[in-house]
Amino acid sequence: MFTTIGYLYNQIHPVVLGTSIPDNRWNCMYYSKPVKLHKGVDNPIKFKIRNNNQKDVDVSTSTFTISIIDSYTNHEKISRTLDIENAESGLISTTITEEDLDNLDAMRYHYGIRMVDSNGVQYPIYVDDNYSASGVVEVHNDAYPGPVAAVEPVIGSFENSIAYTALTETTQGINGINTVAYYLTDFTGTITAQGHLENTSSIQDGDYIDVVESSYTNQTGVVYVNFVGLFTGVRFKVYSESGTVSKILYKF
């Protein structure tokens, strides 16, 4: 039997408070490991603040901010106030969420941490023995599935107040979770998600089954509907008494 071991541990990075410069390199930090962030999950990270003698620093009267910077354009991508987990030992932390990383490419970025003391004076936080305030962030996109793009099925012409969208051929996933967003303006009527299980391109109206029907009265805005089912294809039936359905976005 082959066994793979998975590890769950805190990603803690030692950094040095930049209020003074040491006279020697005896206690300096010679290696600063990169912060690794993975798209598709939340990423908790912690930083351990020390002084130039590698001793813990009390940070109870200070605030800390981390900035993640595009290393090519120098534009700030994420800015976050760090939480103080243990003031006496200088432990600060934050969580870079899955949503935070949606608009970041899988590449290397830089990060910097700024400290503001109780007098409002700002200090850099050093990350290596050369007194650099610029650390490395690696964003990876190879461990978890990425977000799925929504499909916008075209709404056809109305006949007797009823219109159908174009058919969306689906890939049957693991959990069968479907999400749809209706963009409505003063809409009164019903929208029905319909699915079929046929393996042919010659689909007849009788092949569809109603999955979920949603009724609205003078509804304006974006309305989200979730339903569960594994289908070969999905379309939407719109019955309109008044108002408009400007578009439908569908994810499966």
Instruction: Give the per-residue SS3 of 126-181.
Output: ECCCCCCCCEEEEEECCCCCCCCCCECCCECCCECCEEEECCEECCCCCCCEEEEE
The string of pLDDT tens digits covering residues 157-197 is: 999 999 999 999 987 666 788 999 999 999 999 999 999 99
End-to-end CA distance of the chain: 36
Q: Six-digit token pair at 34? A: 């990169």
Burial of 68 (0-12, 13-18, 19+ CB in 10 A): buried
Ranges of CATH 2.60.120 domains, the chain: 162-251
CA distance 163 to 160: 8
CA distance 28 to 14: 11
Confidence of residue 64 (pLDDT cuts 50, 70, 90): very high
CA distance 9 to 133: 25
Residue 241 pLDDT greater than 50, yes or no: yes
Residue 88 pLDDT greater than 50, yes or no: yes
Is 45 in contact with 11 (CB distance < 8 Å)?
Answer: yes
Contacts by 59-62, CB closer than 8 A, 24 or more apart: 59/84, 59/87, 59/90, 59/92, 59/115, 60/84, 60/87, 60/88, 61/117, 61/118, 62/115, 62/116, 62/117, 62/118
Residue 63 pLDDT greater than 50, yes or no: yes
User: What is the fold, at CATH topology level, of the domain defined by 12-140?
Assistant: Immunoglobulin-like (2.60.40)
Q: Compute the average pLDDT of residues 70-91.
A: 95
pLDDT of residue 3: 57
CA distance 44 to 30: 24
Residue 86 pLDDT greater than 60, yes or no: yes
Class of domain 162-251 (CATH, top level): mainly beta
Is 65 in contact with 82 (CB distance < 8 Å)?
Answer: yes
Residue 60 pLDDT greater than 70, yes or no: yes
CA distance 13 to 155: 53
Ranges of CATH 2.60.40.3350 domains, the chain: 12-140
pLDDT of residue 6: 60
